[in-house]
Amino acid sequence: MIKPQSFTPPIDTSQWPILLKNYDRLNVRTGHYTPIPSGYSPLKRPIPEYLKYGVINLDKPANPSSHEVVAWIKRLLQVKKTGHSGTLDPKVTGNLIVCIGRATRLVKSQQGAGKEYVCIARLHSAVPDVSKVGRALETLTGAVFQRPPLISAVKRQLRIRTIYESLRMILMLGRGRAYDHQGGGYCSWDC
């Protein structure tokens, strides 16, 4: 029978695999809360602290460019640095993530993320065979060659973008399209 001891023999973990190596020297946090002099409770955090590391999830209206909207935010909040997670064309409405202050470092991680677009189009007359529309949409899925528009912030060179999914939705006012594709793509050529 093994009897309890007050002395624990030392274990040499220096030769163990890399993730377990010297695990006995890890910084172990206790289960109780220790208040520290720096930092804030989220409910008591002052507004200037939010402006240092802020992210604004903005519904961009039609007509102003993404650059203009970000400049307005920069001027209104009186901050030094702002950045956005990807350009929306001026006529396009949608979600624009604006990072403030030190949060601008997060912009690069969002720019390459996939984006989803919805296009609304009105047809002049009814489509006689709806299955043809579905087959036409299938051709727009996969790798697509695109060139940015004449007025664009990026270099106008032919590039390949992947459209992961193209859905057809029938809306109350007309026909709609939904795209799920790689960041940096343009859907204005199809609307």
Q: Are residues 118 and 176 in the same domain?
A: yes
**Three-state secondary structure string covering 100-134:** EHHHHHHHHHHHCCCEEEEEEECCCCCCCCHHHHH
Q: Are residues 76 and 101 in the same domain?
A: yes
Which of 95, 110, 125 is where one domain is finished?
110
Q: Examine residue 33 and state whether it is found in any structural domain, yes or no.
A: no
Q: Which domain holds residue 73?
A: 46-110
Q: Residue 180: pLDDT band by 50, 70, 90 thresholds?
A: very low
CA-based torsion, 50, 52, 57, 58: positive or negative: positive
Q: Tell me the catalytic residues.
A: 89
Which of 110, 129, 148 is where one domain is finished?
110
Q: Examine residue 137 and state whether it is found in any structural domain, yes or no.
A: yes
Q: Are residues 131 and 153 in the same domain?
A: yes
Token representation of residue 24: 């006995």
- DSSP E strands, the chain: 55-60, 82-84, 94-100, 115-121, 142-146, 159-170, 175-181
E strand or H helix that includes residue 74: helix 66-77
Q: Examine residue 84 and state whether it is found in any structural domain, yes or no.
A: yes
Q: Examine residue 52 and state whether it is found in any structural domain, yes or no.
A: yes
**Torsion from C-alpha of 72, 75, 76, 82, nearest 10 degrees:** 70
Q: Residue 72: pLDDT band by 50, 70, 90 thresholds?
A: very high
Please write the tens of the pLDDT for every residue from 140-177: 778 878 887 777 767 888 888 787 776 655 443 344 45
pLDDT surpasses 50 at 24 = yes
In the predicted model, what is the mean pLDDT of residues 48-66? 88
Q: Residue 68: pLDDT band by 50, 70, 90 thresholds?
A: very high
pLDDT surpasses 80 at 48 = yes
pLDDT surpasses 90 at 70 = yes
Q: Are residues 163 and 131 in the same domain?
A: yes
Q: Are residues 150 and 105 in the same domain?
A: no
Q: Are residues 122 and 173 in the same domain?
A: yes
Q: Are residues 56 and 100 in the same domain?
A: yes
Q: Are residues 62 and 86 in the same domain?
A: yes
Q: Are residues 89 and 131 in the same domain?
A: no
What percentage of the chain exceeds 90 in pLDDT?
A: 10
Q: In what order do the strands lie in the sheet with 94-100?
A: 55-60, 94-100, 82-84
**How many domains in the chain?**
2
Please write the tens of the pLDDT for every residue from 84-111: 887 777 888 888 899 999 988 888 887 7
Which are the contacts of 178, defined by CB distance < 8 A and separation ≥ 6? Answer: 116, 117, 118, 119, 165, 166, 167, 169
pLDDT attached to residue 186: 47
Q: Are residues 156 and 105 in the same domain?
A: no
Question: Mean pLDDT in the chain?
Answer: 75
Please write the tens of the pLDDT for every residue from 113-132: 777 777 766 667 777 777 77
Q: Residue 73: pLDDT band by 50, 70, 90 thresholds?
A: very high
pLDDT attached to residue 30: 64
